[in-house]
Chains A and B, each alone.
Chain A
Amino acid sequence: MDKKKTVVEDIDRGLYDIKNKDRYRYKASKGLTPQIVLDISKEKNDPEWMREFRLRSLEIYNQTPMPTWGPSLHELDMDDIVTYVRPDTEMKGKWQEVPDDIKDTFERLGIPQAERESLAGVGAQYDSEVVYHSVKEELVKQGVVYTDMESALREYEPMIKEYFMKLVTPNDHKFVALHGAVWSGGSFVYVPPGVQVEIPLQSYFRLNSPGAGQFEHTLIIVDKGAKLHFIEGCSAPKYNVTNLHAGCVELYIKEDASLRYSTIENWSRNMLNLNTKRALVEKNGSIEWVSGSFGSKISMLYPRSILKGEGARADFNGVTFAAGGQVLDTGAAVIHAAPYTSSNINSRSISKGGGVAVYRGAVKVAANAHHCKSLVSCESLMLDDLSRSDTLPVIDIQNDEVDIGHEAKIGRISEEAIFYLMSRGISEQEAKAMIVRGFAEPIAKELPLEYAVEMNNLINIELEGTIG
C-alpha cells in the first residue's frame, strides 16, 4: 500500500523568497546620524513636532544601552542598515495601478485575493512605505478610518499627535528609540464609537530591499463600544545581509470596545525582528492577540497589554516554531492596573533542528488591582536533541485579592501517541505531523480559516525532511 503523505498540501516556500530588483525613488544612506534622520524627515514632509520627536528619539537611542537579557544581537551593525527606502511608486488606491513587480509579489502572497474574499480593507507596505490601501465603502460611510500613517499624519494630525508613541515611548528600550527616530510606513485605524467592523482589516508588510530596515508604525484606536479584527502579515526574501525590523504597534481600546489583533510572521532567516507591540485597554474593553511566529533569524517579540480600566480583559494565543539557525524569543506581558481585570495567556512553542524557542512572559498585578484573575499556560515541544526550549515567566503580585495560576510543560512527542496513530494505519511521519498540528491547534483555531491553513502549511514546510 502506498504511504499517504501529509494531510495538508505543502506549499512552495519559494514564493516568500522571490526577490524583486531593488527599485526605489529615495534610499537613505546606510547608518544612523542626525543628518540621515533629518533627511528622512524632509523626504516624508514631516510637521515640525515630528521632526523634533525623531531627533529626540535618536538622542535617546544613542544614550540607551543594548538589552542585557535575551538573544545576542552582536551581528546587528546599525552602520550597515539602510533605515529608509521609498519604493519607486506613489501610494495607490487601485490595485491595477500598483507597479507590476510589486503587484506580482503581493499577488503571489495572496493579498488581493484575500481582500476580495474575506477582508474589509487592505494595506500593503513595500519596503518603507505603503504602496496600496483600500477600504470598503460602507466602512468609510460609518466613519471608519483606515489609511497609511503618512496620510494620517497629514489628514488627522491632532489625533496622531495625541496618541503617537504615547503608549510605547522612545524611553522604553533601545530599538523603540530607534523606531521613533526613523519610523516610516504602517497603518492608522480609527473605529468610531459603537461601530462593529465584522470582517477583518489587513496590513501586509514586505521588505524587498537588501540590508534595509523596516520601521512601520501601526496605530489603532477602537473607540467606545466599537469592535475590530486587524490582521498583519510579514515576509521578506532571503538575502545574505542582515535586515532589521523594528516596528511599533500601539493599540488603544476604549470603554466596552474590543480588538482582535492577529499576526502571522514569516520573515526570512536573515531578519532581526525586534518589534514592540502594546495595547491599552479601558473599562470593560478587551484585547485579543493571536500570534504565529515562524520566520526571522532572531525575534524578540512580547506584546504587552495594559489593563487600565475596571473589567478589562486580555487574551494571548501564540505559537512559535523555531527551526535550525533561529532564535525566537517570544511571549507576552500583561499589566493588571485596575480591579476586576482578567487575562489568559496560552503559548505553544516548537523547536527543531537546532532552533531555539524561548517563552518570556510577565504578569504584573498592581496594588489597586484587586479581584484580578490570570491564567498562564505554556507548552513546549522539542522535536530533537539539537534544539533548545526555555520558559521564563515571571509573576508579580502586589495585593491579596487575586487568583493567579501558571503552568508549563516541556517534552517531546509521546511515543504512545505515535504508536496509537500508527496502529490505526497512519504512517509515522504523518502521525508526527498530526501531533504537531494538534499541538498548535488551540492557536490555529483562533485564526481566520485561510490563515489557519497558511499556518498549517508553514508547519508542514518546517517539518519536511526532519521527522519520520
Chain B
Amino acid sequence: MEKLQKNLSPIPVKTWNWLGVNSAVLEADIPAITDYSKQPITKGSEKGVTITDIRLNRDTIKFMEKKMDVGASEAMRDFVKKNQNSGYFIEIEEGEKIGTPIILQYDLDEENPTLVDDHFILAHEKSEVNIIINYTSSCTKNGFHSGVTKVFAKRGAVVHLIKVQMLADQDTHVDTISAITDEKGQVDFTLIELGALQTITGCRTQLVGKNSTGTIHSLYFGDQNRKIDINYVQTHQARESLSSIEARGVLLDHSQKVFKGTLDFIKGSSGSKGKEEEYTVLLSPTVRNRSTPLMLCGEDAVEGQHAVSTGKMDENKLFYLMSRGLSEVEAKKLIIEAEFQPILEKVPVIELRDTISMYLRRRLNHV
C-alpha cells in the first residue's frame, strides 16, 4: 500500500526536490475497498449510446488502452483495475450527436464509503456527447474515491466531459483522466474540484490526430486544511493541434494547492498552438499556493504561451461593491462567484449548476 501512496501524479520533467512539486503523496491510508451498491446512472438511455459494465468490454478496450498514458501512476492504475467496484464502457455511435447529457452520480455514504471507478468513453467518428460525472458524499468519516476515466475521440468526434467533485471534508479523492484524439477529434474537459480533504487529480490528453483539439477548464476551491494537487498535461503529437488550459481558483484558511500544467510539443507537431493560464486568488495569510506551468518544446513551428497570476482580491472591485452598500463578506462572495462563473457556465445542466453555486455559497460563508 505504501508504494501506492507515493510518487503519484508526477510532472513530465522533474525539477528541484526542495520545491515539492515533482510528485504527490497520498496522506490518508487507503481503506479496504468494499462494494459500491448504488446505481450511478441517472440519465443516459438515449439512442446512439450504449452503456455497459466495463468488465464486459475489457477485450474491446485493451488495444486502445495500451496507447494511453498511465495517469496518476502505474501502481494506481493497476490498483483501480484490480479493485474497481463501479465502471462503464460508454460508446457513442458514428455520427450521433447526443443532445441530453449522460449523467453519472456517485454518492458515498455509510454503506458505500469507498468508490473505485473505471470508465472508458469511446466516441466514434463525427459523434458528439456530453457526459457529467458527479461525486458527492454524505460519509461521516474518511470516504475514499479513486478512479480512472479514459476517453477516445475518433475522427471528428467531440467529447465534453464534466467532472464535479463535492466530496465530504474528510474524504480522499484520487482521479485521473487519460484521453486520445484522432484527426479533428476534440476533447473538452470541465473539471471542478471543490471538496475532499485531499485531492490528487490529473488529466492527460494526447493530441494524436492532426487538427485535433484538447481543452481543459478547471476550477478549484481550497479552504480549511484541504490539500489539492492538480496535474494537467496536453501533449501535441500531431500537426496543427490546439490545446488550452484555463484554471481558476480560490484559496483560504490553511489550504494548500499545487497546480501543475504542461504543454508538451513533440517533434513533428508543427503548426500547433497551446495556451495555459492560471489565476489564483489568495484570501488568507496562511495558505500555500504552488504553480508549475511547464512548457516542453521539440518543434520550432509552434506557438506556446503560459501565464500565471497570483494575488489578493482586486481592491478596486471590492471598494466599488462596498460603496454600493454590500458588506465585505457579501462583496467578496460576489467577486468569487463572478470569477468562477465562466467555468460554471460550462456545466450544461442548470440544476447541477445551481447545486454547485449553492454548495460554493455555503462554503464561502466564512470568507
Contact = CB atoms under 8 A, between A and B. Distances in A.
Interface of A: 68-70, 360, 362, 364, 367, 370, 380, 382-385, 387-412
A407 B15 CA distance: 18
A155 to B, nearest CB: 36
B22 interface: yes
14 contacts: A385-B301, A388-B296, A391-B297, A395-B289, A397-B310, A398-B288, A399-B282, A399-B287, A404-B310, A404-B311, A407-B308, A410-B297, A410-B303, A411-B302
Contacts of B289: 395-398
Given A393-B294, A402-B282, 7 more contacts: A367-B286, A393-B292, A400-B285, A401-B285, A408-B293, A411-B300, A411-B303
Contacts of A390: 13, 294-297
Given A68-B17, A69-B15, A395 B300 contact: no
A323 B58 CA distance: 48
B19 A68 contact: no
Given A382-B300, A385-B300, A408 B295 contact: yes
Contacts of B312: 400-403
B31 interface: no
Contacts, number: 140
Contacts of B333: none
Interface in B7-21: 13-17, 19, 21
A253 B287 CA distance: 30
B350 interface: no
A364 B290 CA distance: 9
Given A68-B17, A360-B15, A407-B306, A392 B301 contact: no
Given A69-B15, A69-B22, A410-B305, A394 B290 contact: yes
Given A385-B299, A398-B288, A407 B307 contact: yes
B287 A400 contact: yes
A355 to B, nearest CB: 12
B19 A396 contact: yes
Contact of A392 (B283, B294, B310, B311): B294
Contacts of A360: 15-16
B348 interface: no
Nearest to B294: A392
Contacts of A402: 282, 310-312
B224 interface: no
B55 interface: no
Nearest to B269: A385
A176 to B, nearest CB: 14
Nearest to B305: A409
B239 to A, nearest CB: 12
Interface of B: 13-17, 19, 21-22, 265, 267, 270, 282-312
B307 A388 contact: no
Contacts of B300: 382-385, 387, 411-412
A431 to B, nearest CB: 17
Contacts of A404: 308-311
Q: Which 6 A/B pairs are nearest by Cβ-Cβ distance?
A: A400-B282, A382-B300, A69-B14, A406-B308, A410-B304, A391-B295
A436 B282 CA distance: 39
Nearest to A396: B290
Given A390-B297, A406-B293, A408-B295, A397 B288 contact: yes
Contact of B305 (A387, A396, A407): A407
A149 B225 CA distance: 50
Contacts of A70: 14
A400 B284 contact: yes
Contacts of B310: 395, 397, 402, 404-405
Query: Among the interface residues B267, B288, B289, which one has the most CB atoms of the partner chain A within 10 A?
Result: B289
Given A69-B15, A385-B267, A410-B304, A397 B297 contact: no
Contacts of A385: 267, 270, 298-301
A367 B308 CA distance: 20
B16 A362 contact: yes
A394 B292 contact: yes
Contact of B297 (A364, A380, A384, A398): A380
Contacts of B286: 367, 399
A394 B311 contact: no
B287 A398 contact: yes
A362 B19 contact: yes
A405 B291 contact: no
Contacts of B270: 385
Contacts of A398: 287-289
